[in-house]
């Protein structure tokens, strides 16, 4: 006789997100060897073995700097992307990092089992990351040149404004570049810096 435990009755791993301020909530659920995506008006089923790549990204938004995303690349070229932030209204967002982490961890493990050849990567693709890093560095250099020029011309207020802009820009740009540095992960690996919510 097979003993039934509490875990046997546990609901399948799931995650719900409203990715935009205006729009429907999307539900994601692991059902056997499928990822069920419920868009309210239609339900799509993605075979886990068809997921060729799992990518983790830092993706801050206009309202929160704590935005993270998981992107699934499918064998037919489509992508499925979801994140840890869910909009309640035009100005209010909800964060459930612990729930997000649990679902992403379960999904990563299921993908690794279903398709051992699936790649797990962190950060942006290398060409995009290099472009991001160069543009960010150039922007900071231009601000530094503006600030230096302002002090040389005796316009202290403009120079102080430049220092403030440099500090604010660096505070926003550095995590975007540093966290999105491209790197390869082991099969099923979850990077804690890009998937918040891991307990203890």
Residue 44 has pLDDT above 90, yes or no: yes
Give the mean pLDDT of 7-35. 88
CA 114 to chain centre: 23
Residue 40 has pLDDT above 50, yes or no: yes
Q: How confident is the model at residue 20 (pLDDT cuts 50, 70, 90)?
A: confident
Q: How confident is the model at residue 90 (pLDDT cuts 50, 70, 90)?
A: confident
Q: Write the pLDDT tens digit of every residue in 142-200.
A: 989 988 888 888 888 888 888 888 888 788 889 999 999 999 999 999 999 999 988 75
The pLDDT value given to residue 133: 93
Fold of the domain spanning 6-123:
PH-domain like (2.30.29)
Which has the higher per-residue pLDDT, 141 or 10? 141
The pLDDT value given to residue 146: 86
The pLDDT value given to residue 184: 97
Which has the higher per-residue pLDDT, 20 or 73? 73
Q: Write the pLDDT tens digit of every residue in 122-139.
A: 999 999 999 999 999 998
Q: Write the pLDDT tens digit of every residue in 45-80.
A: 999 999 999 999 999 876 566 899 999 999 999 999
Please give the order of strands across the beta sheet that includes 51-58: 79-83, 68-74, 51-58, 119-122, 183-185
The pLDDT value given to residue 4: 37
CA gap 93, 64 in Å, rounded: 8
**What pTM was computed for the model?**
0.85
First to last CA, the chain: 37
CA gap 58, 152 in Å, rounded: 38
Annotated domain spans of the chain: 6-123, 126-176
């Amino acid at each position: 006789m097979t003993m039934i435990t509490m875990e046997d009755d546990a609901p399948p791993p799931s995650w719900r997100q409203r990715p935009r301020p205006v729009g429907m909530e999307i539900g994601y659920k692991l059902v056997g060897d499928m990822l069920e995506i419920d868009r309210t008006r239609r339900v799509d089923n993605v075979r886990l073995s068809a997921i060729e790549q799992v990518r983790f990204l830092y993706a801050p938004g206009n309202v929160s700097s704590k935005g993270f995303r998981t992107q699934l690349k499918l064998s037919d070229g489509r992508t499925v992307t979801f994140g840890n932030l869910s909009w309640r209204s035009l100005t209010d967002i909800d964060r459930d990092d612990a729930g997000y982490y649990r679902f992403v961890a379960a999904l990563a493990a299921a993908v690794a089992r279903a398709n051992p050849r699936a790649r797990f990567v962190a950060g942006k693709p290398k060409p995009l990351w290099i472009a991001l890093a160069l543009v960010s560095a150039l922007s900071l250099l231009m601000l530094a040149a503006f600030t230096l020029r302002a002090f040389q011309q005796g316009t202290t207020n403009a120079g102080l404004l430049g220092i403030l802009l440099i500090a604010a820009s660096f505070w926003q740009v550095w995590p975007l570049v540093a966290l999105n540095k491209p790197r390869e992960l082991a099969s099923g690996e979850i990077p804690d810096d890009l998937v918040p919510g891991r307990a203890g």
